[in-house]
Structure 1
Amino acid sequence: MKLKIKLPLLFLLMFIVFMFSIGIYLKIIFAAYSPIRSSLLDPQYIGLLLPIFAIACFIFIILIIYIHFRIEKPIQLLNTRLEKIDIVHPMPPLALRSNDEIGDLYKHFNKMEERLRLAHKEQTDMITAIAHDLKTPLTSINGFAELLAARKNLPETEKQECYELIQRKSKYMVELINDFSSFTKEKLDLDSMIVKPVDASKLFENIALEYEYELAGLNCELTCCHSFTGNMLLTVNEPMIRRVFGNLFSNAVRYGGKNELKVYMTGYPQGHYAYFQIEDNGIGVPDKDLSSLFLKFFTVDKSRQIQKGGLGLGLASCKSIIEHHGGKIYAYPSEYGGLGIKFSLPLVV
């Protein structure tokens, strides 16, 4: 059984010990220097002890009141809140009572509740997204299978079309499952990734050269420029960072929504970070959805997702990789009319 000790009672005990120590000390002083052996009841002894006792009582009472209202009571409220946490029906955030350590504790508690709600939402979205994305092709497969079973006399050409559609839908399901498996595996790889110094300018130029030809084959134009110098190094896992660029270019091409799409890649140093921007002149993303783009399984338009494919994990993957490297990533409306993605990576200093 755990013993619960109240802070004011603890200070009261300290006060009693303190006063007892003062009494013993004064007793020794009087016994050593007084010609008459003083006792604890000597008027001279009591007269000296009473003012000290009164001052000490006043100080300890003020201290006990302070401890109760500034430490004990806020902690009691926090414990009560912990018992009532409900991520399905969240309560208003805890009101900050001070700017000291207790205030910091309340801030961290509010952030913890927000992360719990976000994790719960991501889990719900994950189940919803997987169920939705698998249900659509499964419904089609089931419909074509029933058609083939019910109509034995279908012409061979129609049968072949049904078989091809079933095969196509099955392939799409496999791709969805592979995307999800790759994402979960990537999360495990990030925890054990190995980082090495990489020249920022060479990394930028190699990626620009690689995707310049790839995007050209998709009728997209890539424009690149950077201001990195030869002595700027990044400590990164290069395959992971290349995966970020791959996801960003893939998203730009897949969801750009224009026949003559132009993609702009920029890099520059600022302070202790290297910044990279991928922008396009496509249809962009509504401002209200910009902050949600990096959530797992979030898609701006479900119908566009079905047509273009994907689970909505690409940008979530980018965010996870960049943050594991100590950087940040965010989306914004591009000056070219489409979507802009900007991320940072710490430079070696």
Structure 2
Amino acid sequence: MKLRTRLIIGFMTVMILPTLFTTVGMRILAPQRVSEMQFLLLVVIFLTAAIFIMWIYRAVNIPIHKMQDAAKQIKEGNLDFELKVDEDDEMGQLCRDFEEMRLRLKDNAEEKVAYDKESKELISNISHDLKTPITAIKGYVEGIMDGVADTPEKMDRYIKTIYNKANEMDRLINELTLYSKIDTNRIPYNFSTLSAQDYFDDCAEDLALELEAKGVLFIYHNYMEEDSRIIVDAEQLRRVVNNIVNNSLKYMDKPQGKINMTIRDVGDFIQVELADNGKGIAPKDLPNVFDRFYRTDASRNSSKGGSGIGLAIVKKIVEEHGGNIWATSQDGVGTTMYFVLRKYQEVPVDE
């Protein structure tokens, strides 16, 4: 019952009940007993008012006590409780609003704990992944200084190794910087309308050269119509493809690595498939591969490298293009990454 309704009922009770009692008493009792009537009237008014006050007090006091207890628990840092309310009046609504506030505070606190955990993990990842190439660079430089590289062939090999390790560090730093910009929506996208067939043909041509140099077999199929177009940021979408391929190369464990790239027309969408014959992903890890900082190799084998955010960047870019991404995998057989992008369709203008 609403508080206003309670007040109206109480007011009417206090006013009407004594009046009715007085009227009936005046008719029944003799006029000479007016003083007794006045006393009884005062008693009735007092009792009626007392009952009314207790009724209103309970309606207000019980929810206030519940909120006081809840506020005390929140003050002490405890958000694992529930503020139960049965009342349907204004105080009940206030308690429900308070409970909603508690739930939001709890969600924010849990997000902060998860974010702090991810931040610590990121620092650990960065420390590990930067230390590995730095240690290698330091070792090779010391070898050059100590005269270990005493032939032109050794010197050339040492310098190339130093260069490659420096590139690893540069890629890691660039990846972290990019993710920071994407995560805070500070990356400027330059969208343009492109031919889907031509764009992915160019991507495939670059990948073929890169993978051939690494001894990896590359197979490409494009089943798109020539007039199919997409609105994308060409640079960022190329990053999506490269990150997926680099992730495949990182976990390639077969003597002859293989990567298949297939472009399909699926109605209003374009579907890109990138399949490898690597070690595959365990079913328990598959739902988490696009989570930031998630890495399936818990031991953090230094040969794998990376920050654990490559696929998180991929997911973010694809979603900001209005698309979707997912993966399938067979442990020991290989993994296939899929992402879809909506086709560009011109809206006909009525003449």
Q: Normalising by structure 1, what TM-score?
A: 0.62
Indicate the larger mover: 176-185 or 294-303: 294-303
> Which amino acid letter does the alignment assign opposite residue 47 of structure 1?
V
For residues 115 and 56 of structure 1, what CA distance do their matches in structure 2 show?
Answer: 45
Structure 2: gaps (5+ residues): 24-37, 86-95, 212-216, 346-351
Over the aligned positions, Cα root-mean-square deviation in angstroms equals: 5.1
In the alignment, is the contact (CA less than 8 A) between 2:281 and 2:330 conserved in 1?
A: no
Q: Is the 8 A contact 1:280 1:337 kept in 2?
A: no
1:94 and 2:94 are equivalent in the alignment:
no
**Does 2:308 align with 1:312?**
yes
SS of corresponding position for 1:299:
coil
Q: What does residue 286 of structure 1 align with?
A: 282
Rounded Cα–Cα distance in structure 2 between residues aligned with 1:263 and 1:186: 26
Could you tell me which amino acid in structure 1 is paired with residue 312 of structure 2? A
* 1:51 paired residue among 48, 51, 62: 48
- Which amino acid is the alignment partner of residue 57 of structure 1? M
Alignment of 1:113-132 (within 5 A): 113-132=109-128
Partner residue, 1:220: 218
**Which residue of 1 is the match for residue 93 of structure 2?**
none
Structure (1 or 2) with the larger CA radius of gyration? 2
Aligned length: 306
Instruction: Give the structure 2 partner of residue 169 of structure 1.
Output: 165
- Cα separation, 2, equivalents of 1:79 and 1:344: 47
**Normalised by the size of structure 2, how large is the TM-score?**
0.62
2:178 to 161, 176, 182: 182
Native 8 Å contact 1:277 1:340 kept in 2:
no
Tell me the distance in 2 between the aligned counterparts of 1:159 and 1:142: 15
Decide whether aligned partners of structure 1 residues 322 and 144 sit closer, same or farther in structure 2, where only a CA change above 3 A counts.
closer
The structure 2 residue matched to 1:261, chosen from 254, 259, 262, is: 259
**Where do residues 18-167 of structure 1 align in structure 2 (5 Å cutoff)?**
22=11, 43-44=40-41, 47-48=44-45, 50-51=47-48, 53-69=50-66, 71-81=67-77, 94-96=80-82, 101=97, 104-151=100-147, 154-167=150-163
Unaligned runs of 5+ in 1: 1-10, 35-40, 83-92
Counterpart for residue 6 of structure 1: none
Query: How far 1:292 sits from its partner (Å)?
Result: 3.6
The superposition leaves residues 304-339 of structure 1 with CA deviations (integer Å, 9 ceiling, x where unpaired) of: 975465333211212333555677655443699533
